[in-house]
Structure 1
């Protein structure tokens, strides 16, 4: 059970660092909104985070 928790934590930290590196502070804030909405069982907050993250990912590269 401890190994699963360790692997899960490592995955989350790696994913957060990847989002921070690629999409900056806006990506972390959107990911935070999505996570808080899921944990708090608030569909509106999680939807807002998901939509903002999708818009950030789908923007054209300059």
Structure 2
């Protein structure tokens, strides 16, 4: 189980670095808002993060 958690954490950090490299600091903020909203089951926070990432992609 600890190996799975470590691999999952490494994948999340790698994806966050990819988003930050591709979309800058605002992309990282959007990704953090989205993941915190999903983890905390806060719809408002996750929607704001999703909108930020969508606006950066468009």
Deviation of the 1:31 alpha carbon? 0.7
Structure 1 residue 41 and structure 2 residue 45: aligned? Answer: no
Q: Which runs of 5+ in 1 are unaligned?
A: none
TM-score of the superposed pair, with normalisation by structure 2: 0.88
Distance 2:6 2:40 in 1: 23
Structure with the higher helix share, 1 or 2: 2
Structure 1 residue 31 and structure 2 residue 34: aligned? Answer: no
Distance 1:30 1:12 in 2: 14
- The structure having more radius of gyration, on CA atoms, is 1
SS at match of 1:23: helix
TM-score of the superposed pair, with normalisation by structure 1: 0.84
Q: After TM superposition, what 4+ stretches of structure 1 lie above 4 angstroms from structure 2?
A: none
Structure 1 residue 8 and structure 2 residue 4: aligned? Answer: no
Q: Which runs of 5+ in 2 are unaligned?
A: none
